[in-house]
Amino acid sequence: TMFGQMAHRTFNYSWLLVPRNEIESQEVKAICDTLSYYQLPGRSTESFLQFLDIPLHFTIKYLWSGRVNRYIEQPNRCVLSNITVTYGGSSRAQRHLDGAPIEVGLDLTFMEVEPLIRNKFNSNHSLSGGDKVKADQIELNNLKNVTETFGGGDV
């Protein structure tokens, strides 16, 4: 069959953090520890049963001049599915005098908790996380322009 399953989209981000002093080294450590903490599931107990809670959700927004950038597709709610912290980077043996690494590589993978579907068009006809608009709420003239642009048929 052509259609197998809906995949949850992932978003990858990578940073190279280069602390210049002890205060910045502590801030980098706090960032890495906090993200690692929120990636993990919690544990709840009810009587003698124990359950793992889903990891906390993240809301990612791409901004431009302090506003949501409407030209970039915004992710739905995500979980942090993978975090890789590389201490030392290309200079693994080099450390500050207090033992802190001179650079830290931080690689994050976020995965949406729900797949993106066609019903997620907002009133501006751009895909946006969590916005649900029924098809009959979209102006037919604008939808016709979109389908003609992409080679679609009559609306």
pLDDT in tens, 81-94: 999 998 876 656 67
Length of the chain: 155
Judged against a pLDDT cut of 70, whether residue 147 lies above it is answered with no
DSSP 14-80: EEEE---SHHHHHHHHHHHHHHHHHHS-EEEEETTEEEEEPPPPB----EETTEE-TTSPPP-SEEE
pLDDT in tens, 128-142: 444 433 333 333 334
**What's the pLDDT at 81?**
93
pTM exceeds 0.75, yes or no: no
In terms of pLDDT, which residue wins out, 145 or 76?
76
Judged against a pLDDT cut of 60, whether residue 74 lies above it is answered with yes
3-state SS class at 145? helix
- Report the distance separating Cα 92 and Cα 102, nearest Å: 9
pLDDT in tens, 47-70: 677 788 878 899 999 999 999 998
The DSSP letter of residue 143 is H
**What's the pLDDT at 61?**
93
- Report the distance separating Cα 57 and Cα 60, nearest Å: 10
Question: Residue 105: CB partners within 8 Å, gap ≥ 6?
Answer: 14, 15, 16, 17, 84, 85, 86, 89
Average pLDDT over all residues of the chain? 75
